[in-house]
């Protein structure tokens, strides 16, 4: 059973465009609970609709990849992000280039 906050987080995550990522904290803030980044991580781990909610597009605040529970783990998450057009610096997403700005 999804609560109102998790539903809001999932709806916002659906809006992350190709080539962009959001951070767990960013989604928490956009959903109205800026201190709930860990809850967002829990929601992404338990994504009820992996085909429509792009949980792979959510990363740590420093661009690290973490918490991908789908088949293939973090290696697969990075592959999906690269094929989506996300820019990396080493093993971290280049947030200065690929961070989603919902205001734009």
Number of domains in the chain: 1
Sign of CA dihedral 17, 57, 25, 60: negative
Q: Lowest-pLDDT range, 1-5, 32-36, 89-93? A: 1-5
pLDDT, average across residues 84-94: 96
> What is the pLDDT at residue 41?
95
State CA 50 to chain mean position distance.
12
Q: Is the pLDDT of residue 22 over 80?
A: yes
11: number of Cβ within 10 Å: 12
Q: Is residue 96 part of a domain?
A: no
Catalytic status, residue 66: no
Q: Specify the CATH number for the domain of residue 29.
A: 1.10.10.10
Which one of 16, 55, 93, 95 is the catalytic residue? Answer: 55
Residue 20: inside a domain: yes
pLDDT computed for residue 26 by the predictor: 98
* pTM score of the predicted model: 0.93
Query: Is 94 contained in some domain?
Result: no
Q: Which stretches does DSSP call E strand in 6-94?
A: 22-23, 58-59, 88-89, 92-93
Per-residue DSSP letter, 48: S
Domain span holding position 62? 4-87
């Amino acid at each position: 059973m999804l609560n109102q906050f998790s539903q809001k987080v999932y709806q916002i995550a659906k809006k992350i465009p190709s080539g962009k990522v959001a951070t767990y904290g960013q989604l928490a803030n956009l959903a109205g609970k800026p201190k709930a980044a860990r809850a967002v991580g829990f929601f992404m781990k338990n994504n009820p609709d992996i085909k429509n909610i792009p949980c792979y597009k959510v990363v740590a605040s420093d661009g690290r990849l973490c918490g991908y529970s789908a088949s293939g783990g973090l290696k697969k998450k990075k592959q999906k992000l690269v094929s989506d057009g996300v820019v990396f610096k080493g093993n971290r997403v280049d947030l200065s280039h690929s961070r989603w700005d919902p205001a734009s």
